[in-house]
Every structure is written in structure tokens, then in C-alpha cells.
Structure 1
Amino acid sequence: MNPVSLFFAQACLVVGTPFILWRGLRIGSIVPLVAMQIVGGILLGPSLLGALWPQGWQALFGPAQLSALSGLQWLAVVLFAFLSGLHIGGAQQPGIRRIAMAAALGSVLVPFALGTAAGAWLAYATPDAVGHAASAWQFAFAVGVSMAVTALPVLGAILREMKLSDSVPGQLAVGCAAFSDAAIWLVLSAILASAGRSSSYDFLRLACLGLAYVGAMLWLVRPLLARMLPRMAAVDARLALVAVLIFGSALISESIGLHYILGGFLAGVVLPRDAAGELRRQLEPATVVVLMPFFFLMTGLRTDIAIGGQATLLVFGLSTMVAVAGKVVGAALPARLAGLPRREAWMLGALVQTKGLMEVVVLGILFEAGLIGMTAFSGLLLMALATTVLAKPLTRAAARLRER
């Protein structure tokens, strides 16, 4: 099979497998497509396809056959980060600002604290879970970060499917997810930037360049875009300009020592809000449905559930309990204390524990940086799948509280 034929065979399997499973099993009302995309990446990896058909798997997805897919996964992640940035600073229903602030802070701080404690225990109980470049406390903070994630694009799809987009819990959940996205990208960039840096000069240089870069994006690029975009009547011209913005921002961010995901995210943050809706409609379907499965494949190729055995299951069980409890309690209780009715507060808590795409991206970055090992990566990936699947049933259960 020549390289072109191989690439399109890979593309058919990567994009088609999760969609066929999702439609064939008739689980669309319960499980979002992104959950099946995560499953598809695992099924095409060594955990299933590699174990059942080793020779064919090596021919299709062996290390020598993946060079064409690396660029696609980078493109997918940077566009996903950009789409996350577009949600920052959106309109909010009047009268719920105080509730939104309380819920947003709680939905990040509580699961982060609980996750860090769980990570500290796992570092001693399962040493194989710790990444090769991490100390026990670095690993604990990495687990805490992974617990604080809420996947905004997946949450948006769930809200649309459940007709909750205009509801108070839905709007609050979007605000919490946007705050979570901003906090996670910044914390991740700080962790990645400082990992392995022994020189205070290097850290000071990075801090100065990072501040200059963020300042230029906020106070130079944003006003320039606000003037240029309204004058460009052609849709394809605006899209081309935004694409150059995304890739250029990612290039600068990566070049100065920050991760390219921060560049993509910041490009979404500085884009004028009146252009955000149109760009989401243009980019989100292709990014989520077509490009992100390639990232999930590369993630699935790293995932071998059999390697960790019971340790992987321990990480999965503990992290799932911590993630669900931390998000539900962390969002629902502060919102309830701030004045949100009981039913809406628990619906909010159920919605924001959706991990989905964002969690998989975070885990991939933590694994590549050596902060978590294969055991933790596999267990936390299963946790991301479980919490995404649980979002709808938990929300429906919370919605019945008043009726009962």
C-alpha cells in the first residue's frame, strides 16, 4: 500500500469507526459523539485492534506509518484551543453574575484540591503512575489539573441536545467551562514552561517574553482585528486572516517556550466577539468531527489498558469518583449558597463534570511532558470517557428533583 492509499485507509478508520459505532448502537440520546471518538481511538490502539490483529495493526498504525498524522493532530489541538478561546467573555444573562462567579471558582478549586490529594496518594500507592520527569508533588498537581477540566465544546453539544442552552443552568455551565478552560490552559502552560528549567535566568526570560506576547495580543492585535475584520466583506478572506492569526500565535507561543496550545487559545480570546459566532459555525464541525479523531487515534496508540492492570483500574476508579464528586459539589454548593434554586444547582453540577475533548488534550500534554506515566494516562483517559457519558443521566436525574 503506497503512502497516499495508507493515509486514506487510516482516515476512513479514524473518522468512520466512532461514527458507525455511535449510529449503529443507537446511543446518540445517551452518549455524545465525542465519547465514541475517544472509544474509537482506544479500539484502534494496542488495547484492542493491536491485540487482535497485530500484523495488520502494525501495517496500518505502526510507528513507521504515523508520520502523516502528526501534523493533523497538532492542527486539531490548536484549532480546538482556538474554539475554546472564542467562548471567553461571551454574553451572560443579567442577574446571575454573582452565582456564576461562585460556581466557576468552586468548579475549578474543589476538584483541583481533591484531585491533588488523590494524586499525592496515588504517587505512593502506584509509583508506576508517576511520569519519568515528575516528582510526587508534580504528579499530584498534574492529577489535580486533570480533575478541574470541563470540556466546553462537548458541553455545548449536550446543552443543544437536551434543549438547555437558554436555561439558567446551561448558561452558568458555559460560564464555568469557559473559566475552567482559561485557568487550565494558563496553568498547563506554566507547568510546561517551568518543567526542567534549572536556571532562574531562563525562567525570568520566559516570564518577560510571555508577558510581552500576551500584552501584544491583547492591546495591539485585538484592536487591529476589530478594525480589519468589519472591512473585509469576503467570508473566505476573513477566514484566511483568522487562520494566519491562529497559526502565527501558536508559532510565537511555541518559539518563546510556552506551549502552542496557549497560542491557539489566546488567538480565540482576542478575536472580536461579533465575529466569534460565525467562525464557530465555520470551524467547529470540521474540527470536532473530522480533525479531533486523529488526535484521539494518537492518544489511543499511547493507551494500553493491559499494561497497568489493577493499577490502571485503581487510577480509573479513584479519579472518576473524585472528578464527579469534585465537579458536582464544587459547582452546585457555591451556586446554591449564592441563591440558585436546588434543582438548577444540581443540574449545573451534573453538567460541568463533562470532560470530553479537553481532558484528552490535557492528558496527552501531561503524558508527553513526562508528568504522568502510562498507568495514570490510561486510567485517567477511561475517567474522561466515564464522566462524559455520565453527564446526561446525572443532569436528567437532577432535573427530576422538583417533580419528586
Structure 2
Amino acid sequence: MSTSEIFLIALTIILAVPYAFWRLLRTDHYAPLVVVQIVGGIILGPGVLGAAFPGYYAFVFNPQVIGALNGVAWWAVMMFVFTAGLELDLGDALDNWSETAITAGCALLFPLLLGAGAAALLLQQPGWIGAKGNYGQAVLGIGMACAVTALPILVLLMEKLEIFRTPFGQRLLRYASLDDVLIWGVLALILLDWERVGRQGLFLAIFAVAAWAVRRLVSRIEENDRWYVSLIWLSACGFAADWSGLHFMVGAFLAGAVLDAKWYSRERLDGFRSFLLLAVMPVFFLSTGLRTNWGVGGAAVFGAAALFLVAAVAGKMAGVHLAGRLLGWPKGEAAVIGWMLQTKALIMIIFVNVLLDKQIITAETFTAMLLMAVASTMLTVPNVRPRLARLGLG
């Protein structure tokens, strides 16, 4: 068969298999489609079906097909990260800066510290730090991954729970938005390359000037043109960030963060995000699954995932409960907020993909983090729904 034919076979599998399991098994209560797609990527990858049926894997996911899928995945996730940056409402966070800073700070710091502590224990053993990473980078990277809240998935779950447009939902968005900014700032710090610090300084200087110019341009043109100009801006920022020694995902986030969501109609922005999740992000999830590895042993990888999960959940809940006490929240609110901010799939997966790309962590560490992200996201809705009902919010 030609490469194009095999590519279309792979694409059919990517789109059909997770959807069939999600629909037939009715997993939406504990595992939304995005989680099933991530799990599907792991199962379809080399560590599970690839190991059981190496002939299937070698035929469907040959190097040419993987190259084509990676290209689609890169562009898909860049657009998704761009929309996450675009939807940040820092103005709202600044209007409520005291409450937002306390909550977001506690919700980020506690799981970061516990995650870093868990990483410090695990990384004493060989096989977890990447070839180009050092101990400090890996500890900080894993700790931050344990603290991440996935803003796009948080939005999807709030829509499902019918709290997205409520005042309570807007509070959650404020907390998660500030944490997202800090997440990408920490990633830039982790990736700081002292040999290319001149390039990175040049990138930031040029970006500041270019962002000012693009903002002036986008604010003055019609919406149809805004979308086209925004995609050009996105690809240019991704290239420049990658060239500077940072990652194209840092550029993608910055490209969206400097623009205002009010310049784009809510209907088209929601439709664009839905299209990405429907049509192209499944390719990213599959390509993520293809990168999983169980080389240090399945038991070790699952053990590491469990360790990270405990650190992430315990740290997030402790931090949010402390914020609740400091701010005098009603009884029960801290538990709901803690579980909602525990959602990790997507942004955390993107974050650890960058760490893997830069060889700061190994594929085994990446696999453990991926399993932790899936498990933490699956815990959200079952824990939140009854608590919302008791508070009269759902």
C-alpha cells in the first residue's frame, strides 16, 4: 500500500476506536472522550498493542506515517495551546487579585512541593532522567507537572456540570488562569539554555515589539481577517521560540496570551476549540501514546504514576483547603474547588511532552506522568458532582 493509504488507515483507527469505546461503554461520568482518546493512544502504541502485535505496529505506524501524524499533531496542539492563552482573562484575575493570588498560589505551591519531593525520591534510581536533563530540571519539571491544572479540560468539565457561566465557575477560571501563566513561566525557566541565552533574550525583545504591533493590527481589522492573521502570528511565534532554544509550545502560548479574547466572537472561539478536539487533537493523543515506554518495567512505571498521583491530589487538596481557611469560604467549597483544579489531561501532557522532547525526562518518566494525568482527570467528575449537589450549585 502507499503511504497515503496507510496514513488513512491509521487515521481511521485513531478516530474510530476511542469513540466506539466511549460511546458503547458510556464512560462520560468518569472518563470524558478526551481521556478515552489519551488511553486509546497508550493502548494503540508500542507498549501495549505494539508489543503484542509487532507486525500490526510496524505496518500501520511505519516511520513515514508517524512523521505525517507528528506534523498534524504539532500544528493541532499549537492551535489548542494558542486558544488556551487567548482565553486567559488576566483582567478579571487582577480585579480580584487578593483572593485569586492566595488561592492560585496555594493550589500551585503545595502540589509542586509534594511532586518535587516525590521526584527527588524516584530520581535516585537510574532510568528516569533524560540524556540532556539534570537532576534539578527533572525535579522541578515533575513537581510542576503535579501542580498543573488543564484549563481547556476544566472548561469542558464545567460545561458538563453546568457551572461554566456561573459566578462559581468564573472563580475557578480565575484560579486556573493565573496558574497557567505560572506554568509556562516555569517551563521557560526549566528550558533556559545558558549557551543560547542571547537568542532567548533577542526572542523576548523582538516578541515584545511584535506583540504590540500585532495587537494594534488585530484590533483594527474584521474578525475573519483576525483569525487568519492570528494563525500567521501563531506559526511565527512558534518558530521564533523554538529557534531561541525554548519550545514552540511556549511561543504558541505567548502568541495567544497577548491577544484579547473579546476580539473574537464567543461562538466562533468555542466552535474552533470544539473543532480542534473533534478533528485533530485525537492525532496528538495517539502520537502521545506512541511515545510511551515501559523499559524499566511495568510495575515500576505504575508505581511511579501512583506516587505522583498521591503527591498531586494530596498537595492540591491541602493547598486549596488552606486557601479556603484563609479566605473564609463556606463549608464544602474547598473540596469542590480542589477536585476541579485537579484536572490535568491535555496541558500537563503537553508540558511533559516538551520535557521529553528536550530529553529532560525519559520515556518511562513520561509514561508515568501520562498515567497520573489520566487518573487524576478521571477522579474529577465523580468527586465533584455529589459535592456540587450538596452545595446547591449543580
Alignment TM-score, normalising by the size of structure 1? 0.90
1:3-402 to 2 correspondences below 5 Å = 3-89=3-89, 92=92, 97-124=97-124, 126-194=125-193, 197=194, 199=195, 202-203=196-197, 205-228=198-221, 232=222, 235=224, 237-276=225-264, 277-305=266-294, 307-399=296-388
| Higher mean C-alpha deviation, range 320-329 or range 299-308 | 299-308
| Higher mean C-alpha deviation, range 95-104 or range 310-319 | 95-104
Unaligned runs of 5+ in 2: none
Q: In the TM superposition, what is the alpha-carbon distance from 1:95 to its structure 2 partner?
A: 8.4
**Conserved? CA contact 1:172–1:348, under 8 Å:** no
What amino acid sits opposite 1:178 in the alignment? S
Percentage of identical aligned residues? 33
* Distance in structure 1 (CA, Å) of the matches to 2:391 and 2:55: 56
CA offset digits 1:107-145 (Å, max 9, x no partner): 211111111111111111x32122222222222111112
Q: In the TM superposition, what is the alpha-carbon distance from 1:10 to its structure 2 partner?
A: 1.1
Count residues with an aligned counterpart: 391
* Distance in structure 1 (CA, Å) of the matches to 2:385 and 2:177: 23
SS at match of 1:129: coil
* Distance in structure 2 (CA, Å) of the matches to 1:279 and 1:241: 15
Alignment TM-score, normalising by the size of structure 2? 0.92
CA offset digits 1:233-265 (Å, max 9, x no partner): 6x3x33222211211221222223321112211
| Higher mean C-alpha deviation, range 350-359 or range 2-11 | 2-11
| Structure 2 CA distance for partners of 1:169 and 1:394, relative to 1, 3 Å | farther
* Distance in structure 2 (CA, Å) of the matches to 1:381 and 1:91: 32
| Structure 2 CA distance for partners of 1:338 and 1:88, relative to 1, 3 Å | same
Q: In the TM superposition, what is the alpha-carbon distance from 1:181 to its structure 2 partner?
A: 1.7
| Structure 2 CA distance for partners of 1:345 and 1:92, relative to 1, 3 Å | farther
Q: In the TM superposition, what is the alpha-carbon distance from 1:153 to its structure 2 partner?
A: 1.0
Q: In the TM superposition, what is the alpha-carbon distance from 1:176 to its structure 2 partner?
A: 2.0
CA offset digits 1:63-118 (Å, max 9, x no partner): 34312112111101211110110121267499854322211111211111111111
Q: In the TM superposition, what is the alpha-carbon distance from 1:31 to its structure 2 partner?
A: 1.6
* Distance in structure 2 (CA, Å) of the matches to 1:341 and 1:73: 43
What amino acid sits opposite 1:120 in the alignment? A
| Higher mean C-alpha deviation, range 271-280 or range 340-349 | 271-280
Q: In the TM superposition, what is the alpha-carbon distance from 1:168 to its structure 2 partner?
A: 4.1
| Structure 2 CA distance for partners of 1:318 and 1:224, relative to 1, 3 Å | same
Q: In the TM superposition, what is the alpha-carbon distance from 1:306 to its structure 2 partner?
A: 6.4
Q: In the TM superposition, what is the alpha-carbon distance from 1:316 to its structure 2 partner?
A: 0.7
What amino acid sits opposite 1:150 in the alignment? T
| Higher mean C-alpha deviation, range 136-145 or range 165-174 | 165-174
Q: In the TM superposition, what is the alpha-carbon distance from 1:335 to its structure 2 partner?
A: 3.3
What amino acid sits opposite 1:40 in the alignment? G
SS at match of 1:227: coil
What amino acid sits opposite 1:188 in the alignment? L
| Structure 2 CA distance for partners of 1:93 and 1:73, relative to 1, 3 Å | closer
